[in-house]
Structures are given as C-alpha cells and as structure tokens.
Chains A and B, each alone.
Chain A
C-alpha cells in the first residue's frame, strides 16, 4: 500500500462513520412536505418556503454545518438561467446562518473552469457577502465511495464533505437537458462527484439514481425563477430563458423533481430516472396523489 492509498483509506474509514446518516423521513413531520411558492422576490420566496415547510428549525439545528449545492456549473451570467439564482442562494445562506448554522459551505464541481463560473454566475460574490464559505473543488477531496444497492454504478468518487457535513440542501435550477430531457435535483448532485463524469451519462437513468443512493439531501429547493427552455443545460441564449418566478421545495426528492417536471410541462412518469427512483423506493412520483401546498405573493 503506497502512501496515497494509505491516506485515502484513512479518509474513507473516517468518512464511513458518517455514512449511516439517513434523510429526514416524511412521517417525522406534520407540516407539508412539498411547497410551491410563486411571484415574490427570491428572498421573500425563500423565507416563505421554509415557513410553509414547517419552519427552518425543522432542517437546521444550532451549530450545524450545512452544504448548500447550487448549480454553478457554467461560465454564464445569471440571466442566462444556466446557474442557480444568486439572490436565492444568498437568501438561503442568510436563513441558515440566522437559524444558528455554524457554517454554510458552497461548492460545485463545475463543467467550465470554476474560476470563471463562480464569479460570472455572481454566486461567489453574493454568497460570500451573505456569510457562506464558497470553495473550489479539488481532485484530492473526492473519496471513492461504494454504492450499496446499485444497479449500474457500483462505486464513484464523491466529495468528502458530503459525508462530513450535518445537512445538505440541494439547490438546482430547472433547465432543459437533451439527455434527461430536464435537469433538476437528481442531476444537480453530479456536482458533488468527481472522476470521469461523462461516464455517468450512459446509461444515464440507472447511474444518476445510483449516485443519489449515497448522496442524500435533507431538502431540495428547485429554483424555477428563471428557467431554461431549450439548449440546456449550458444555455447561452436569452430567448431560451423564461420567467416563472417559482420555487418548488420539499423533502421527498423524487416528488420535488416530479412536480418540477410538471411545472416545466413534462409528465414526470415519462422521465426514466424518476420512474426508476420511485421504483427503488426513493420517493413518490404521483403528482395527483401528492399535491403541494402553494402560495403566491400576488
């Protein structure tokens, strides 16, 4: 065993202590598990989202270290809707810190150079100003992680913070994607992984579900304030951007993606990965049987 393997193994063992963490179960709580908030400012909508979900104290405890995962994957200005809404990111950071979180960590293993994506998406600036710890991702931070119960992806390098933080909040942006037709919460978790990520694309549905077996967010908040209709996920054409001014959030990540797909105009059941995730017992897919609590500011 060389030095590198030795160190890696050590980290892996340490990580495995935190490995048995399970997400909040829906029966733990009495308030709604899925909310859709519309037509407010990003900060207003973020606050309302947590309020309707039963208060932020349901998710954030005193001294929690929170990993907030927006999409900062592309070197685009925020108005191109390729990256998460910076005002929403900033609002959530502030809410977490006000609720007593010790630290809010933000990073994304971006597709373009992170040194371009972070500033150009403006997330680096606004999130830092809000008090978050915005970091770059480095290859040495990934841990080759076995995926129990996987069907296609048996192990993959996953960022070590995933196993070290107390809470994970997934903050994807709702976008068109040619392969998965739409990219929401499940796909956003790819930004916490390393390796040759292109390989996750075939077969995509099985592999993205497998990845989400070990990366388990406590809460998913979908940014549908500006959505990308075509030429996703990188975008680059303002004509493809549509203002929906909507947030979809909840603890059931399958249901959140399902409702987001519905908001986008797709039948959730037609999405292979969602069907697979549902069959794997990761959450509900039926939007008819699981209506959201909705709120509109106008």
Chain B
C-alpha cells in the first residue's frame, strides 16, 4: 500500500466510519430490540427515499427532514456525500479495488442515464409506483447487508460453531459462547429467506459493473447521485488546476473514478465530482487544489434536454398506465398476508421501499415475514408477506411496525397488535389429521396464543367401520371472530409440506393513512 497524503486518509476514514455506522444501524434491527442507534437512520437521511415515498404516498413524515440536510449538502460541499459518506459508494470503492484495478474506461455518454432514472423514478412515484427498491442505493445496501449479509454470516458462524460443538471438546464452553451471542444478536437457528436470489442479483450486478469502469453505478445509474448532482451544480467547493504547472499528462482524467474531468484537464463537472481528492494526490505536478468560490452558473452534464425529459415523461406515463391496467388474479393474493399494522394495500405499495428492515427483525423473532416475489403483482416485488410454514407472528412481538422507516407498517402498541387481524385460519379437512384419520391431534389448538383460543373443539364419537370400536375424537374448528391469523397453528401443524390449517387474508385489517 502506497503512503497516502493526509487528505486521502481523512476521506477513507470518514468512508469507513460511515460504513461501520451503517452496519451498526443494521445490527440494531434485532430482537431483543434495544436500539441505541435507530436502524432507520440512513433511510431517513436518504433524500431519494424521502421524495419517492412522500410523493407516492402523499404524506409527510417529519423524520424525513433529516434527508433535507443531505439534499442541501451539495450547496456547500458538492457531491461529497457520494465520495465520503454513501455506504454503497464505499462498498463499490472496495469491490472496485478488486474488480477494476487497471480498467477505468470513460463512460461520458452514459452519464445522463442516471438523470433519466431519477426523473422516471419520481414521475412513477407521482403515479404511485414505487421503484426505490430497485434503484435507491441505501435501501439496496440495507437489505444486501441486513438480509444477504445476515444469511451468509449465519451460514459461516453456525457452521463453525456446529463443527466445534460436534468435536465434543469444550462443548460446554462453545455452546455457552454461542448462547451469549444469541441472546443479543441472532435468532436460535439460521434464518431462511425466500426469493433471496432477487436482491442478490441486484447487488451483484451493481458491484459487478466495476468490470466496465470504476464507480459505474455512481456515475451513470444512481438516481440519488443524479439528484445530489443537480444540486451540486451550485456548489462553491471546486477543483482548481494551476494552469502554469499543469503538464497535461492526463493522469487525473484517466484515473478519475467519476469521469468528471473534461478534456482540457482544467474544467470539472461539478455534478459528477465526488470530492474524493484522488486527483490532487495523483497529480505529478501537484497542480490540483480544492477551495471555495462563488459558484458560476454552468450547463451540467446531468441536465436533461427538453426532448429527453419529455421522452422520459411519456415512458413513465405509459408504464404506469400499463401497471394500472394490469390485472392480478385475486386468487393469487389469497395468501398475501401483510405485517400487522400495514396500510391499505395501494398505500402500502406506495410507501414500501423494500429495505427489508421488517423482514430482518422478524427473522430474529418469529420469522414469518419474507420477501415476496409476484404474490402481490410486479409492483409488490420484495414487499414483506407472512409465510407461515417458515415462521409465525410472535404474539408478544410488534417490532416490524417499530422499525419501518416509511411507516408503510404503522407502529402498533403491543396490546393493539395482539388483537390485530392479519387474516383468518381455515382447516383443510382433507389434510387435517382429526378429519382425515379420525384421530386426535390438536397441535394447532395447543399453540393458539389467544387468551380465549380461536381454535375450538367439538367432541364426537367415532365408530371404526372395520373393527366397530368406538372412540371420542376432538374435531377442531375456527372461531373466525377470535382468530387473528398469527399463523402459529399453520407453522406448528405436524403435517409435512402444506399444513392442515392455512391462513388466508380473509378478514384482514389494514390501517388507513
């Protein structure tokens, strides 16, 4: 490693500190939930999430005012957020280091894509279609580290612990250690996530773009970068080249992560420069400095022509229109069970940015929430739904509503949550053991957590047609008024595969925004 000047050291330290902070916020999203740092912090500070959700959902969330600081920061320090703070940017810097060390192609003609992406995202938000999940760097990284990272961490930590435990040496010490860690951080057994491949593909593509150029995502695709870039046009913090010492060696331009330097090596595209300061380090003539000056108005590469703005607008109109008229077969949404406290479906989809905070915290407490695929249509991709064969809604838990950054899941007091109806249980009489085999079972009834159980029993005499022997059998049935659809019955049903009792969204309660 080369010796770095102080400015680079400070910038790298800042990047690592913010990435560490980001990971710390993720680690807060766990049962037992005693956060000393809000898990939603970075998402509240995300101007893109703030705009897209509040525009789509037509609401005002005071906590999103934090994002205003980030949104206005370019008026002082340009796109420093991207170069110094954004944890995805830092992650990309790290992976770029491995993937595109020698390659750094110029991608000038692609710069505008991110503005198109931004305009498209905000226009679609206006029509109530939320695309932040696919395009907003902070939710993308939150779920990549929070869900994929969690799953990977478990795979390895559990493997190591199990391996050590199986050797039989110091097994007490090992299981005690594992218990200690478990008490504060992780669930008891490895969480399993459905449709994990989708977020994996998204993040792998974003990081893999390093094969084309450095910071390809930040340069050409990131709508948050485009948004900050538009503001950064007015930034007073600028790169200056001492024209007398400049030897036009082109090193700064070739090495620039963001391809922000013009062919004259003097002019800098302010909406592209992320103030990483590498050029001042790499300049053999030490001709590059940064200082504050009154900004001059200039045409920026992120500006869209009227023509392309219009084109984007038409594309947004068309696609949202097509979304609006695309039908979803209602029978497919039968089992689309939303977390307790969820807003009405349209509102929910408008606000949910698929950061998967709820899915993560649920995985440490009950574990029913999963990322959906097409259960609620294309617009509902990766939204949380309860899958009860993988987990159940813990009676004494209301954490998903506590940590939803956009309040798509409204916070519920525990007493309210315990009576909240997510759906209703139905017996599948051709699977359920008492009905099918005329034998007692009652595992579902045993687990029903309600003070007055929603699963009731009728006791009937059964005469075996072959032997003629009589026995009394308890046949369970549902009191639909009592049932909250928490799904512990479906989860604990001893049948293999599909349960003999199934929760449908019939009777589901939803919050009105």
Contacts and interface: CB of A to CB of B under 8 A. Distances in A.
Contacts of A199: 494
A204 B492 CA distance: 16
Contact of B365 (A7, A113, A133, A139): A113
Given A140-B166, A201-B443, A113 B366 contact: yes
Chain B contact residues: helix, strand, loop or mixed: loop
Contact of B474 (A75, A179, A233, A234): A179
A177 B443 CA distance: 11
Interface in B428-466: 433, 437, 439-443, 445-453, 457
A243 interface: no
A35 to B, nearest CB: 30
B118 to A, nearest CB: 42
Contacts of A179: 440-442, 445-446, 474
Interface string A255-297: 0000000000000000000000000000000000000000000
A116 B447 contact: no
Interface stretch (B102-110, B182-190, B310-318, B340-348): B182-190
A169 to B, nearest CB: 19
A111 B452 contact: no
A114 interface: yes
Given A116-B365, A201-B441, A178 B179 contact: no
B445 A178 contact: yes
Contacts of A204: 440
B188 A111 contact: no
Contacts of B183: 115
B240 interface: no
Nearest to A124: B183
Contacts of B492: 111, 198
A111 B396 contact: no
B168 interface: yes
Contact of B179 (A111, A136, A233): A136
Contacts of B457: 178
B38 interface: no
B185 to A, nearest CB: 10
A141 B446 CA distance: 25
B178 interface: yes
A75 B394 contact: yes
A205 to B, nearest CB: 9
Contact of B446 (A135, A138, A139, A177): A177
B395 interface: yes
B162 interface: yes
A242 to B, nearest CB: 16
B165 interface: yes
A165 to B, nearest CB: 12
Contacts of B442: 178-179, 201
Interface of B: 31-32, 162, 165-166, 168, 172, 175-176, 178-179, 182-183, 187-189, 365-366, 394-397, 433, 437, 439-443, 445-453, 457, 474, 492-494, 496
27 contacts: A11-B166, A14-B168, A75-B394, A75-B395, A75-B449, A111-B447, A111-B492, A112-B395, A115-B183, A120-B396, A138-B165, A138-B175, A138-B178, A178-B442, A178-B474, A179-B474, A196-B496, A198-B492, A198-B493, A198-B494, A201-B442, A201-B446, A202-B440, A202-B441, A203-B439, A231-B451, A237-B452
